[in-house]
Copies of this chain bind each other. A is one copy, B any other.
Amino acid sequence: MSELKNDLLLKALRGEHLSRPPVWMMRQAGRYLPDYIKLRKKYDFFTRVETPELACEITLQPVNQVGVDAAIIFSDILVIPQALGLEVLMEEGKGPSLPKVVATADDIDNLNLDGVAERLDYVMQALSLTKRELNGRVPLIGFAGAPWTLLCYMVEGKGSKTFDKAKQFCFTQPELAHKLLQKITDATISYLKAQARAGADLVQVFDSWSGMLSPADFKMFAQPYLIQIADAVSQDVPVILFPKGSWYALGDLSNSSASGLGLDWSVTPELARQLTGNKITLQGNFDPSKLLAPIPQIKREVKAMIDGFGTDKYIANLGHGILPNVPVDHAKAFVDAVKEYGN
């Protein structure tokens, strides 16, 4: 394996002193890139995800075209429910749906945990291939959805403004909910460890819907599983946890085995540092919609963001995934502004 020529991201996660932070963008692979949109017209979603050559090509696009300091493998958080035996449909522009949801103890027993990482071998192939193609240019990030967020989809069957069915399941049948969450956690640990073996230099766990939970319910249904994953996987590679909307959990999670915490844009740098006591690397948190602002404004606000977080223990990123309607030169302006910091 060739040595990393740009290891800013790993240095930031180790807390080493840096003159400018590393930068990448959540969902940087796909969506807004014209070359991706061309591929989308030729291959459906799961073909793109499950064909290592396509996933690799899509993963490399933002590295080559936007100049980010890391690649994140093109995939989807719902590959875990799939590998556990649930059908997942992805209609372009409509979001995912699961025709058969998890509702009973039998449904949970029927989820097939054995060999789950093996069934996701196409992801490992995509990682190995991408690692080879990157040839050490930048680190490669693997990822998975957090157990709470995956439970949301597995119980609700689709996206939701409230995920009240998923919550009702947790509130009325907490033992079943914990059984399901533990099964997802076990699958995720095995999956992320396999990703590390296949070449991921670090991994991120996306808890996209954790902010739907009250602080008490987050502690019940989300936090213990995030901590289990961080404990197990950080033995292999650094782990970034991204509990979107759960600013209230930053203090607790800063004491976990994770190396980094992702932030959405509702938290100021000052408050985030205060809540985490400078114990952990922070990542974020530019409002993705702000990439629709004029470029000089993007550059000004990126500078202010880095001023706020400082250059150490910090990874510049968006506060959520990049939007499909962001012009490529605006995405590039974001990345450039980070690279120009301090010049």
A22 adjacent to chain B (CB < 8 Å): no
Q: Is the CB of B214 within 8 A of A292?
A: no
In angstroms, Cα B217 to Cα A268, docked, is 11
Contacting residue for A162 out of B168, B215, B323, CB 8 A: B323
Report B-chain residues with C-beta under 8 Å of the C-beta of A167.
287, 289-290, 292
A145 adjacent to chain B (CB < 8 Å): no
Q: Is the CB of B172 within 8 A of A294?
A: yes
Report B-chain residues with C-beta under 8 Å of the C-beta of A323.
162, 164
Q: Which residue of B lies closest to A218 (CB)?
A: B266
A297 adjacent to chain B (CB < 8 Å): yes
Tell whether A164 pairs with B289 under 8 Å between CB atoms, given A215-B268, A265-B214: yes
A278 adjacent to chain B (CB < 8 Å): no
Q: Which residue of B lies closest to A217 (CB)?
A: B287
A104 adjacent to chain B (CB < 8 Å): no
In angstroms, Cα B216 to Cα A213, docked, is 24
Q: Is the CB of A288 within 8 A of B162?
A: yes
A293 adjacent to chain B (CB < 8 Å): yes
* Residues of A in contact with B, size category: 20 to 34
Residues 290 to 319 of chain A near chain B (Cβ within 8 Å):
290, 292-294, 297
A248 adjacent to chain B (CB < 8 Å): yes
Contacting residue for A271 out of B213, B248, B265, CB 8 A: B248
Report B-chain residues with C-beta under 8 Å of the C-beta of A213.
287
In angstroms, Cα B228 to Cα A244, docked, is 32
Contacting residue for A289 out of B162, B211, B268, CB 8 A: B162
Q: Which residue of B lies closest to A164 (CB)?
A: B289
Q: Convert A160-182 into 0s and 1s, putting 1 for each residue whose CB lies closer than 8 angstroms to a CB of B.
A: 00111001100110000000000
A110 adjacent to chain B (CB < 8 Å): no
A245 adjacent to chain B (CB < 8 Å): yes
In angstroms, Cα B216 to Cα A266, docked, is 9
A325 adjacent to chain B (CB < 8 Å): yes
Q: Is the CB of A214 within 8 A of B266?
A: yes
Please give the distance in Å from A167's CB to the nearest CB on chain B.
4
Report B-chain residues with C-beta under 8 Å of the C-beta of A267.
215, 248
Q: Is the CB of A268 within 8 A of B248?
A: yes
Tell whether A215 pairs with B248 under 8 Å between CB atoms, given A289-B171, A294-B172: no
Q: Which residue of B lies closest to A297 (CB)?
A: B171
Report B-chain residues with C-beta under 8 Å of the C-beta of A211.
266
Q: Is the CB of B245 within 8 A of A266?
A: yes
7 A-B pairs besides A168-B292, A172-B293 with CB distance below 8 A are A162-B289, A164-B323, A171-B294, A214-B290, A216-B268, A245-B266, A248-B268
| Sample of 20 A–B contacts (CB below 8 Å) | A162-B323, A163-B289, A167-B287, A167-B290, A168-B289, A168-B293, A171-B289, A171-B294, A171-B297, A172-B293, A211-B266, A214-B265, A214-B287, A215-B266, A215-B267, A216-B268, A247-B247, A247-B266, A248-B266, A248-B267
